[in-house]
Amino acid sequence: MVQLSGNNSEDNWAGPLPVGLVRPMEYSTAVAVAYPWAMRWSDDIDWVFFADNATALATRRILKATYDRRDASFSIDGFVTLNFPNNTAATVRGMRMTYDLYTTGTVAAQSRSVTGNGTDFLSGISSGCRIGFGTSTPSLVNEWGEVSGSATNTAMTLVNFITGSYPTGTPYVVEDLRALTITTNITAAAGGLFVTKGLRPEIFSPAGTAIASGSAVDNLRATYQIIDANTVLNTAALGGALEEKTNNLNQNIYILDGTSNPFLYKYNVRAPLTLTSGRATNPFILRTAQPGALVGVASQANNGRMANTNHGPGAGLNCIYFTTTSRLYRTNDVSTIASGSTTWIADNAVEIPPGGANTFAASSVMNSIEYSAAIDRFIVPVNAVTTPFRSYVTRYVTDSSQFDRIFGCDIRQLDQSTADSSITPVPGIVGGPYSIWSEGGISYIATIGTTAAINKVYAIPLGGDWEYASTTKARIVSPEIMTPDNSKFIRAYLNDVEVIGGKDGKNLGMATEPFRIYFRTAGINDDSGSWTLLNDYSDLSGVAAAPSIQFMFEFRTIGVLGVPARLLSLAVLYEDLSTLSNYQPSVANSSITSKRFAWRFATAFGSTVPTLRIRLYDAVSNGLLVNDTTVAPAGTFQKSTDDGLNWTVYNTTDKANETTYIRYIPLSLGDNIKVSAVLTLN
């Protein structure tokens, strides 16, 4: 018997992390994007932000997109244009966003007035951000207001009139969205760290929204420059590493400065600003000394990531990780880094590809670093513009051992909107390196470039790879499949898409990455049963009969192409204890005394009768007593075509008339046994 689950739809089982299809998002040359930063706004929706990486200009743009995890689709929402204090030509070297929620206390709200009870409106909330009413969960908000300002901790004014009237005790949520941009500038002192306050998603529009440069007033929708001193020294930034927020007024960022022998700068980006012409020195905390020359050259491409890993020498510590062309570097725990220190770098990891340098050449062009907490691994892209080196997913190791994994390849495919519509987008390094942000197992990979051909981003579920599935739980588990009257499992059958894209799966189609199948027949309802890996032939013949079975699938996502497999339907083939439907038990032609078991030939096969199998079970204990077939039987098979009046040697001729019967007499069978007889195909 075959038990089916699912159907032949490509949307079937489109659930957990590994089955998101890789798709690119393409931008016009107006916004040359890089340095993605993503956050999960809800279970299904990610907000993804990008920095403008075009040729140095006095203004820079931040672009916002939405990624829907349900169907793996991007939509471009729009951008904002940042105006900087002392505007001259700037190049973005790093970008981070911060997103914080204020939900303390309750409010009453009507028209443009909000009155708080137990609220803390003056603790960092900027005008321009948004407040929602009736819930503290942003995705459940039905009405948003834009914050105009707060006179006290319990009094807020809105820009717009809200339609609802919310009584005292109403829950609320304020979304405080900010951009942190790290730049270098043709005018050196005009570069460094900038914080843009008072953002909300609605102002990221296709036409763009201009954000003013800061003035003498804090907490406006504006861009403020954070400097280390009136004579700015932080002028050669590589990127920024952001620490988790301590409270609404404290969150530190660390800026690496210098490509060969760097300084490290520390700022509190949530400190209330003491401003002069949009610039503030009071958030500055410290500057280290130079530690000595690095091995290799550090890139200025969003370089530096704060991570608290579960592995390596930095396990359990808040350390900054950054790259040079040939090494990964780690700082000491940032809480121990002091002003003027020369010993703030703890150790480094040498680039040794998997298999060694004689298997894959060391690139010596590592470009940046990202940390995926979902899998406790670092993602290290390389700048393989002219030579097709591979990027890495790896632990941080300092014992000269090999990096863990390689992924991606340079396939020279141009995933533009003008390309053949049937292609399957595959991330390739075409004209520029990757910049990556990992969020919730999805890695957003932006190719750094300034033309439409290479100005794209992909969403790839690197965190869904089967190597890390035991931690991430990025698996698909089938429904429990009932196998009633099961006497023997035979095998599992799976229908999957082996080639995605291309016309009828030809020409431009891409092969999917492999997947693994596990099964269990016990502990299904309470999830206590252990899983067994199914072999490549999906053979279940050695599995003990059970009334149900369940399957689990794990996927390879860190691979050459990174296109996850797609599952369509699943079937289980097993033998059951019901008699073959072509035959009906015959009481008249059976005999308890003579130990004969007979069946009427009820439905023709339409061809030669296939080999039949008879099994006699102890009806009390279900123990198997006899197992025989019509080919070289141990017992005796006979056939009658005259309603059982005469019996001849059994043959495989198809049904002749309505009085055709067969019967079986076992070679031996004990007395006084209650017997259940089952006739099936062999």
**pLDDT tens string 99-112:** 999 999 999 999 99
Domain segments of the chain as ranges: 2-13+470-576, 21-100+176-460, 104-170, 583-681
CA geometry: angle at 629 spanning 542 and 598, to 5°? 125
pLDDT level of residue 10 (50, 70, 90 thresholds): very low
**pLDDT tens string 392-442:** 999 999 999 999 998 877 777 777 767 777 777 777 666 567 888 999 888
Q: Are the CB atoms for 220 and 262 separated by under 8 Å?
A: no
Residues 356 and 351: their CA atoms lie apart, in Å, by: 10
The pair of structure tokens assigned to 288 is 């280290």
Among all chains, which residue has been given the structure tokens 């608290």? 308
**pLDDT tens string 317-352:** 999 999 999 999 999 999 999 999 999 999 999 999
Residues 616 and 632: their CA atoms lie apart, in Å, by: 17
pLDDT level of residue 5 (50, 70, 90 thresholds): very low
Q: Maximum distance among all alpha carbons in the chain?
A: 115
Check residue 32 and give its pLDDT.
66
Rg of the chain (C-alpha set): 34
Residues 62 and 178: their CA atoms lie apart, in Å, by: 11
The answer to whether the Cα torsion of 641, 643, 646, 652 is positive or negative is positive
Check residue 509 and give its pLDDT.
76
Query: What's the mean per-residue pLDDT of the chain?
Result: 88
- Does domain 2-13+470-576 fall under CATH 1.10.3210? My reply is no
State the average pLDDT over residues 186-196.
Answer: 94
**pLDDT tens string 222-274:** 999 999 999 999 999 999 999 999 999 999 999 999 999 999 999 999 999 99
Check residue 20 and give its pLDDT.
31
Stated pTM of the model = 0.82
Residues counted in the chain: 682
Range with lowest mean pLDDT among 382-386, 434-438, 536-540? 382-386
Among all chains, which residue has been given the structure tokens 């992909």? 458
State the average pLDDT over residues 76-84.
Answer: 92
DSSP per residue, 360-410: S---S-B---EEETTTTEEEE-B--SSS---EEEE----SSPPPSEEE---
**pLDDT tens string 120-162:** 999 889 999 999 999 999 999 999 999 999 999 999 999 999 9
Check residue 14 and give its pLDDT.
30
State the average pLDDT over residues 542-559.
Answer: 91
Cβ of 91: how many Cβ atoms within 10 Å?
18
Strand bridging mode 442-447 / 434-439: antiparallel
Amino acid at 408: G
pLDDT level of residue 458 (50, 70, 90 thresholds): confident
Residues 432 and 447: their CA atoms lie apart, in Å, by: 6
**pLDDT tens string 415-428:** 776 777 777 777 76
Check residue 452 and give its pLDDT.
66
User: Is residue 600's pLDDT more than 50?
Assistant: yes
Residues 422 and 456: their CA atoms lie apart, in Å, by: 18
Range with lowest mean pLDDT among 20-29, 55-64, 152-161, 591-600? 20-29
The pair of structure tokens assigned to 343 is 């010993």
Closest among 462, 460, 431, 461 to 448, alpha carbons compared: 431
Check residue 261 and give its pLDDT.
97
pLDDT level of residue 510 (50, 70, 90 thresholds): confident
Cβ of 457: how many Cβ atoms within 10 Å?
28
Any idea which fold 21-100+176-460 has? Neuraminidase (2.120.10)
Residues 131 and 156: their CA atoms lie apart, in Å, by: 10
Amino acid at 211: I
Check residue 429 and give its pLDDT.
66
Among 188-192, 472-476, 575-579, the range with the most confident prediction by mean pLDDT is 188-192
Q: Are the CB atoms for 84 and 91 separated by under 8 Å?
A: no
Give the SS3 label for residue 114.
strand
